[in-house]
Amino acid sequence: MRIGLAGVGRIGAFHAQTLRTLPAIGTLVLADTDAVRAHLVAAQLGETGVVVLDRPDDLFSAGLDGLVIAAATDAHPELLERGVDAGIPVFCEKPVAPDVQGTLAVIDRVGGTEVPVQVGFQRRFDAGYTAARDAVAAGKLGWVHTVRACTLDPGPPTPEYVAASGGFFRDCSVHDFDIIRWVTGREVVEVFARGTNRGADFFRASGDVDTLAAMLVLDDDTLALVSATRYNAAGYDVRLEVLGSQDSVAVGLDDRLPLRSVEPGVRWPGGPAYPLFMDRFRPAFAAELSAFVDLVAGRGQSPCTVFDALEAFYIAEACERSRQENRSVRLDEVRR
């Protein structure tokens, strides 16, 4: 199998390492707007079975069986559409476009095609989240009344990243929104969100926040509480709690949880904490790309479609509007 990779920045280089370990991939074709960076990544991978092209445009005439898009967000729509137009199955890191309007435009182009597209929400492939979903689906928790989700980064990204990210809800908490939908099997109907800035000034300068909280109301009246921050120096902390009338389960409560108990005699968790999201979700990323290889081979359906990405983006959009207008926002207000 011959797989192309567009973009070899931080997440792209990480994906390149994973793709090289998949037995079905015989040739990995790299392309980046920075050709020097592409050659450096290729050298780290080892030259055998790795091809470097001068520019991403060249990928579409390179005889690919599948294309992985890990370029900058603003490049996603064009690369995704060109891949589908060329009949190449596409894996695209989230988001498929920088905003709702752009996502809808992509769906107009590719939503009805038979060329498969998979969007990168790796938590769907994590063992803990999968177990939580299975417990809900089997009715083991009774009726679910509360969901609590958090994504706490150990430190802030660069000012340049924040300025181009689309905001904390769209860039980060969108993962929580997607996984809440996926685990519960329910849709969000209303949100109320707030955000604050007590850290670096560049967040405020970009119209963004460094800490946020949101309450989501699901279509069966389940309440979901989401929190996130760019300042959790104890380590990368991502958790999900699903609380039901008969039982409750949690994802992320392991010995590497970056949360210290002050109860006498309690020495759990022992650590060390995960430093980055790539460390925490390494097995999930590998499973996600393995699923894409299966999709390219014609085995099964897309595990995360562009329509799923749009639904998570609608929730992020509603939260951002709620934050700015200081009111609850129904999802119907942002749907188009």
Any bridge partners for residue 240, and if so which? 149, 251
Check whether residue 268 and residue 214 sit in a common domain: yes
Last residue of a domain, one of 115, 137, 171: 115
Check whether residue 175 and residue 318 sit in a common domain: yes
Total domain count, the chain: 2
Sheet strands side by side (includes 248-251): 248-251, 237-244, 144-152, 223-229, 211-218, 188-196, 329-330
Check whether residue 196 and residue 245 sit in a common domain: yes
Sheet strands side by side (includes 50-52): 50-52, 27-31, 2-6, 66-69, 90-93, 117-120
Check whether residue 208 and residue 111 sit in a common domain: no
Check whether residue 170 and residue 274 sit in a common domain: yes
**CA–CA gap between residue 197 and residue 22 (Å, rounded):** 42
Write out the chain's pLDDT in tens, 336 residues: 999 999 999 999 999 999 999 999 999 999 999 999 999 999 999 868 999 999 999 999 999 999 999 999 999 999 999 999 999 999 999 999 988 999 999 999 998 899 999 999 999 999 999 999 999 999 999 999 999 999 999 999 999 999 989 999 999 999 999 999 999 999 999 999 999 999 999 999 999 999 999 999 999 999 999 999 999 999 999 999 999 999 999 999 999 999 999 999 999 999 999 999 999 999 999 999 999 999 999 998 999 999 999 999 999 999 999 999 999 999 999 998
Residue 28, φ and ψ in degrees, nearest 5: -110, 125
Last residue of a domain, one of 88, 115, 142: 115
Query: 248 near 171, Cβ under 8 Å?
Result: no
pLDDT score at 112: 86
Check whether residue 36 and residue 110 sit in a common domain: yes
CATH number for the domain that contains residue 323: 3.30.360.10
Residue 217, φ and ψ in degrees, nearest 5: -105, 120
Task: Give the domain extent around 30.
Answer: 2-115
Side chain identity at 206, as an amino acid letter?
A: S
Q: Does the bond joining 98 to the residue before it have cis omega, within 30 degrees of 0?
A: no
**CA–CA gap between residue 66 and residue 5 (Å, rounded):** 9
Check whether residue 74 and residue 144 sit in a common domain: no
Check whether residue 31 and residue 87 sit in a common domain: yes
Last residue of a domain, one of 97, 115, 133: 115
Check whether residue 198 and residue 264 sit in a common domain: yes
Q: Token pair of 203, please?
A: 């967040």
Task: Give the contacts of 108 (CB within 8 A, at least 6 positions apart).
Answer: none
**CA–CA gap between residue 85 and residue 79 (Å, rounded):** 10
